[in-house]
Amino acid sequence: MSKKELEQALEIFDSEIKKAGISRRDAFKLAGLGGAAFLTSGSQAEAATVAKASEAKGKILIVGGGLAGVSTAARLSNSLSNPDITIIEPNEKSVSYQPATTLLASGVYKSKDELLYDTKDFMPKGVKWIKSKAVEFEPDSNKIKLENGEVVDYDYLIVAAGIVLDFGQIKGLEEVGDAYSVGDASKILKAFGDSGVTSVYNIDTAEHMWKETQKFIEEAKKGTKLRGVFTAPATAVKCGGAPKKVMYLVNSRLNEAGARTNVDLSYYDDGGKLFGVKDYADAIEKQFIARDMKWNFNHNLIEVDIANKTAIFDKHWEEKGEYDPDLEEHEILKKHQKVEVPFNFLHITPPQKAPDEIGNSPIGSEKGWVPVNKESLQHVKYKNIFAIGDIAAVPMGKTGGTVRKQYKVLVDNLISVMEGKEPKEKFEGYTVCPLITDIGKVMLAEFDWSAKPTPSFPLDPTQERWIWWLLKVYMLKPMTQYGMLSGKA
């Protein structure tokens, strides 16, 4: 987004909120986004909260040049008097505005070009960029081997490599294998074809999803009875609200077309809740009922028969077995049943994991994620290693809103370690998920590890609001680009 585009976004935003009698500054306060002070008439200097630059020295290596990696590098550059920072990132388009893939998939954004921008345009001044991929980690000797054969050493390591889309775990999509949010999507698109199978989790497939959605709607307008199926897997996923957002948006577009009564919309989730925070889960349940959207828990998508348009789920539950008098409790038996669900339109939220070269390395864990102290973000074993964003093994929250809180804590704690001190700053688990519930409506779900709503303003956080839609559509992108990627939001 250029400065001109930013000004245009602000004009639209200001015009709309003026009709509601709200100022721009108050609107940002309502969303808990005060860190973008430079967008509310303050200066960029006022937006920065970094204290006087530290004299600490050390060679800092960041694996991953997406939102988390670049934001952290920028803040470190602002916080150190003599920074020595290198980013390892192979993708020249890795810095993307991922939260808008749902908007692209529903036709609100018209092209993937509105989401993508070049990594080089936001690389912090003075930061070295190596365009390769980290493939081997030797934390005992502070070295990393790259795909190009180069070996890079470091004093301090930050892992911000993001998440991998594990389509290959689903039978019928083995040929797709691992994929990423940005990059070559040819294998996914070839597998999906024009079958009505979609996914919002890659930028190219999000664009493809809008085409499939339009075809689905046109068929429904003819009076054909159709079925849309939406899934959520057995793994942690980035933006846990997205599997539901796409269903809300398809529902909205069907209503616009006057074809909603011809379509059954059903959500299949491996878990047992509509959301991890009860207040929001209860609100979503009411919204689903009002919109005649069905849901099914304990259903994990394990296979897709694209030719026959059938999704196969592992339905699982627990039953009491024999009573053990010694333990004075019943044995718990895990039961499984294959359930075949026909579809005309299928949205797949793929299983997700850390990149194998990291998850299976000495800095990884049994579950693949990088194990860190959830408050300090410092590695549990290697004290000169930190992790941030989707790849960090912390409870809840794999969102850009999470990173916005994490990277400030990480930078302060890393500098403390560089200065020979103990890390004292604590990440409290804050996550914000702008849950799109309709074209023009968003429920701003804010919460932390207490698993309770933590709204930034005294408004009912379970209510769908138009003002949050304006923030989502017009303002979060420039706030990401000119705020977080500068290390100042």
State pLDDT tens for residues 121-138. 989 999 999 999 999 999
- In tens, the pLDDT along 279-328 reads 999 999 999 999 999 999 999 999 999 999 999 999 999 988 888 888 77
Going by DSSP bridges, is the β-strand pair 263-269/352-353 parallel, antiparallel, or unpaired?
unpaired
- In tens, the pLDDT along 457-475 reads 777 889 998 888 888 888 7
- Tell me what the pLDDT averaged over the chain comes to: 89
pLDDT of residue 43: 41
> In this structure, what token pair is assigned to residue 356?
């194998």
- In tens, the pLDDT along 402-443 reads 898 999 999 999 999 999 999 999 999 988 889 999 999 999
pLDDT of residue 32: 46
Is the CB of residue 337 less than 8 Å from the CB of residue 319?
Answer: no
Mean pLDDT of the region 474-483: 78
- Helix H segments across 275-336? 278-290
Q: Which helix (H) or strand (E) holds 357?
A: helix 356-359
126-129: which pairs have CB atoms within 8 A and are 24 or more residues apart? 126/77, 126/83, 126/85, 127/73, 127/77, 127/83, 127/85, 127/86, 127/87, 128/85, 128/86, 128/87, 129/65, 129/86, 129/87, 129/89
Asked if pLDDT for residue 329 goes beyond 60, the answer is yes
More confident residue, 451 or 198: 198
More confident residue, 16 or 208: 208
Mean pLDDT of the region 96-113: 88
Is the CB of residue 115 less than 8 Å from the CB of residue 109?
Answer: yes
Total residue length of the chain: 489
Asked if pLDDT for residue 41 goes beyond 70, the answer is no
pLDDT of residue 22: 66
Asked if pLDDT for residue 478 goes beyond 80, the answer is no
Q: Which DSSP string do the residues of 155-174 spell out, in sequence order?
A: SEEEE----EEEGGGSBT-T
pLDDT of residue 30: 52
- Which residues are identified as catalytic? 239, 433
- Which residues sit opposite 446 in a β-bridge? 432
